[in-house]
Amino acid sequence: MKPHFRTAEQDDLLRPRLVDMIDPRHELVKLAALIDWEFFEREWAGFFPSATGRPATSPRLIAGLMYLQHAFKLSDEAVVARWVENPYYQHFTGETFFQHRPPIDPSSLVRWRKRIGEEGVEWLLTKTIEAGRSSGTITDKALKRVAIDTTVMEKNIAYPTDARLYERARALLVGLAKRAGIDLRQSYARLAPRLAIQVGRYAHARQFKRMRKALRQLKGHVGRVRRDLRRHLQDIPQSPLRERVVDALWLVGRLLEQGPKSRDKVYSLHEPEVDCISKGKARVRYEFGTKVSLATTLVGGLIVGARSFPGNPHDGHTLAPALEQVEILTDTRPTLALVDRGYRGHGIETTRVLISGQRRGITPALAKLLKRRSAIEPEIGHMKSDGRLTRCPLKGRIGDAIFAVLCACGHNIRKILAHLRAFWAFVIRLILGIIVVVNRPLQMQGAA
């Protein structure tokens, strides 16, 4: 059912309002006035075509919680808990009076993310860009010059080792067989976990011959369980459980057949679409997640584009979709894009692209701009340290796409809040300075 909106007459008029309890100069209060909340109430209502059932939560509440969650690096549970304690959070999400109970269950955020999808969260990013322009954080001219780079957004999985994957595969098949009521010949519930631990000990002691022997035994145990469950597949009636068993048998089969040089390897059983990406870092040889392209303005460092690219494509192949997204979100086609050397061979002709180290056709003004390309690196670092870009907890490739855009929203919110905080601090210092200058002659006359 479509969202339900409360009216002022439905509220208790005898209770003190939030605007009387908070400081109107607070940056969250100023930011709340800059965002077009009615847009979400109008556009997100289309995601609820049914006219029956319980009314949905207010779109402004959900949009505000998503903004706060990624701006202050909070989980679903933490942002709802802090909302109860913070009157500024409640004012930001559209409350009129202070509430003493959580507005929603944290699981509602999961369902809302699934419902609005990537298109809905891109609307969130668009409104942060508009708020940045309204607050003076960036100008319209700054949107025409962008810096683009890629990074790895790791998935919330354990570091993949063969022993761990084999043991998880065996436990998965045994659990499904138990739910289906199938008695396996042998589950290896005692031998397999001990063998997995022993593989790690042999590797630590550099006894690689024994390690490989134990690993072959563990792989053989998983294969026997898989073949035993496949023989009983016809005994399972058609149901969602049978589909899960078939998917698990296929996935474990991929795991057992893959080798050291195989393509499209399985690195996690609950996230089989994870990619292994090597970015040439000295401290981290491999990262397991998905590649994310980020576009920032040269002046201001506001994120104007964020898109995930599964399959670990070449950086040059991600430039055209990244520029297209920037144009859609900002209604402005960038005239200049600065990239690093990994984007060579991009084939873009509609936008002028400058590559680091390029010398042909570079004027002194362009050379000065090209030095600003590296400014995107600390922005990415802040998105990982101050935001949540370090690790994606959402499931699947659609979860990667949604989470990358939400992290960009959080970064823009932090940028705007910092700008508003600095602006009002400057205004207060200016007023105090004027008061001191005006009172100084009066003090001198009184002393005389």
Torsion angle of the four alpha carbons 173, 177, 180, 185, in this order, in degrees rounded to the nearest 10:
160
pTM of structure: 0.88
Count of alpha carbons within 13 angstroms of residue 258, beta-carbon side: 19
CB contact at 8 A, 76 and 69: yes
Task: Using the structure block, give the residue that is written with the tokens 């499931």.
Answer: 395
CB contact at 8 A, 89 and 71: no
Q: How far apart are CA 222 and CA 280, in angstroms?
A: 34
Q: Please report the sign of the dihedral spanned by the C-alpha atoms of residue 34, residue 104, residue 123, residue 324.
A: positive
Average pLDDT of every residue of the chain: 89
Residue-wise DSSP of 267-330: --SS-TTPEEE----SS-S-EEEEEEEEEEETTT--EEEEEEETT---HHHHHHHHHHHHHHHH
CATH number at 142-157+275-393: 3.30.420
Each residue's pLDDT tens digit in the chain (448 positions)? 567 655 554 556 667 889 888 999 899 999 999 999 999 988 887 777 666 777 778 899 999 999 999 999 999 999 999 999 999 999 999 999 999 999 999 999 999 999 999 999 999 999 999 999 999 999 989 999 999 999 999 999 999 999 999 999 999 999 999 999 999 999 999 999 999 999 999 999 999 999 999 999 999 999 999 999 999 999 999 999 999 999 999 999 999 999 888 888 999 999 999 999 998 888 888 999 999 999 999 988 999 999 999 999 999 999 999 999 999 999 999 999 999 988 888 888 888 998 888 877 788 888 888 888 999 999 999 999 999 999 999 999 999 999 999 999 999 999 999 999 886 566 666 666 666 666 666 565 665 5
Q: Specify which residues 392 forms β-bridges with.
A: 155
Q: How far apart are CA 31 and CA 92, in angstroms?
A: 8
Numbered ranges of CATH 3.30.420 in the chain: 142-157+275-393
